């Protein structure tokens, strides 16, 4: 689990210099959904090389960070460890991190809608925070599987939440759909 936390920290702390000159990254795999950027970034880095800052998150997560106006948004989860079947303490976190120094600007915690799939099998590979948020028109939309979809302004004020159901697949793999905005439509 610590390896997952480190991976997220490294991904969001690649290089301040490059992040600060890069354009906003508003959704999963960037503006066109292809994961391609015209920016030039460092390709050689380690735990100490080319790292400007690091940020400790409350737990692991597999979502990609999204970036807007000097703020990095990411999700993670806490309250459940590998091998633990009780999900009653599961929390999902939505964090806003300062792009310049890695400080946490704000954090919102969302209690898991129960019953949640147990933390076993494939779910231990990606966890309960696999869905990458999307930013559109100054709003952050975060889909958290059984815990619904949530909208925030970029200062962390919750605008609305909607439950989208608590069904599971037979294999109980959890969710990983990342929302996108097309015109006036939010699609999950």
The residue extents of the domains of the chain are 2-187
pLDDT tens column, 43-88: 888 888 888 899 999 999 889 999 999 999 999 999 987 777 788 8
Contact at 8 Å (CB) between 96 and 76?
no
**Contacts of residue 73, Cβ cutoff 8 Å, sequence gap at least 6:** 65, 66, 67, 94, 95, 96, 97, 133, 135, 140
Query: Which has the closest alpha carbon to 73: 158, 123, 12, 3?
Result: 12
Whether a cis peptide bond, with omega within 30° of 0, leads into 96 is no
pTM over 0.85: no
Contact at 8 Å (CB) between 176 and 166?
no
Q: Which of the two residues, 69 and 4, has the higher pLDDT score?
A: 69
Q: Assign domain 2-187 one CATH number from 3.90.25.10, 3.40.50.2300, 2.40.128.630, 3.20.20.70.
A: 2.40.128.630
pLDDT tens column, 91-146: 999 999 999 999 999 999 999 988 888 776 667 777 888 889 999 999 999 999 88
């Amino acid at each position: 689990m610590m390896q997952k936390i480190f991976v997220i920290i490294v991904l969001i702390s690649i290089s301040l210099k490059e992040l600060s000159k890069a354009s906003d990254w508003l959704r999963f795999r960037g503006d066109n959904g292809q994961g391609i950027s015209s920016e030039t970034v460092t390709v050689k880095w380690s735990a100490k090389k080319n790292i400007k800052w690091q940020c400790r998150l409350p737990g692991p997560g597999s979502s990609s960070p999204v970036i807007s106006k000097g703020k990095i948004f990411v999700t993670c989860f806490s309250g459940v460890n590998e091998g633990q079947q009780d999900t009653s303490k599961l929390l999902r976190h939505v964090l806003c991190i300062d792009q310049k120094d890695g400080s946490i600007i704000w954090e919102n915690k969302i209690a898991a809608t129960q019953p949640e799939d147990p933390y076993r099998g494939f779910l231990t590979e990606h966890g309960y925070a696999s869905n990458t948020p999307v930013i559109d028109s100054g709003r952050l939309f975060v889909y958290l599987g059984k815990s619904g979809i949530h909208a925030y302004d970029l200062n962390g004020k919750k605008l609305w939440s909607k439950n989208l159901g608590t069904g599971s697949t037979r294999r109980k793999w959890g969710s990983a759909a990342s929302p996108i905005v097309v015109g006036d439509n939010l699609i999950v």
